[in-house]
Amino acid sequence: MAINKVYESFDKAIADMPDGAVILLGGFGGIAPVPQNLTLALHRKGVKDLTIVTNNAGIDGRIGLGNIGGRSYVDHEILVTDGQVKKFIGAVPASIIVSRPNAFEQLYREGKVELEIVPQGTLAERIRAGGAGIGAFYTPVGVGTEIAKGKEKKIINGKEMILEYGLRGDYAFIRAYKADTMGNLVYKGVMRTFNAVMVTAADIVVAEVDEIVEPGELDPEVIVTPGIFVDRIVETSKGEVK
């Protein structure tokens, strides 16, 4: 029987998501890499106590930061604003513009959300390790800073390093450009970001793509993510956020 991972809607693709799930949210900010429709479906579903693992804790489109080249976009800020997020693990918890705080910063001050701040490269490597069956690894990044507090240290080749653990999610929401029905993925431009890493590191991986084609239509030489990593695929259609 042919493998078919295609779901007809974003809501159906995440219907089994429970409260308290750990979700790897792809993207980096910007329009191309963010799984916007999956994020909106998660918002509609209203699940709570989520741990989100993602580069930033949300950029508020309503104040003009989620705006690239005059085009605005939606990100997981709406999940934070509406109290669905319990914890953020990532590199950019707050707005880079101090005078324009995001929802996460405000809730963090009120003690309503938890934060695990991770340097961006360490975050990517922790997820890569999580997806590759590696328990932990040593990195020089963070030695002598607050990041190193409480972490195991070791001198390797004369250089001090700290131990960082692999990271996995219950779910990963990722964005790609094209998929075939077996889940093979190709990306476009800067779309890969955390998407092509997170796709390896969750129990259930849901991909939001611009177009779904039949097996054989994607050139095997240019497939970036092998389909075995992907469980569910949904195609964006007209009228949905692109």
Binds another protein (CB under 8 A): choice among 6, 141, 163, 223: 141
Q: What x-and-dash track marks residues 172-211 binding another protein by CB under 8 A?
A: ---------------xxxxxxxxxxx--------------
Pairing of strands 159-165, 169-180: unpaired
Q: 111: left (phi > 0), else alpha (psi -120 to 50), else beta? A: left
Residue 204: CB minimum distance to another protein, A = 20
For residue 91, the minimal CB distance to another protein (Å) is 5
Contacts of 58 (CB under 8 A, 6+ apart): 75, 76, 77, 78, 79, 80, 81, 102, 103, 104
Tokens describing residue 15 = 């219907």
User: Of 42-50, 114-122, 150-158, 212-220, which part binds another protein (CB under 8 A)?
Assistant: 114-122
Binding status of residue 128 toward another protein by CB under 8 A: yes
| Shortest separation between residue 30's beta carbon and another protein, angstroms | 4
Q: Which of 17, 176 has the CB closer to another protein?
A: 176
Question: Coil, strand, or helix at residue 68?
Answer: strand
Measuring CA to CA, how many Å separate 207 from each of 111, 138, 163, 196, 220?
33, 31, 31, 10, 19
Residues that bind another protein (CB under 8 A): 28-33, 68-71, 91-96, 98, 105, 108-109, 115, 117-125, 127-128, 139-147, 187-197, 224
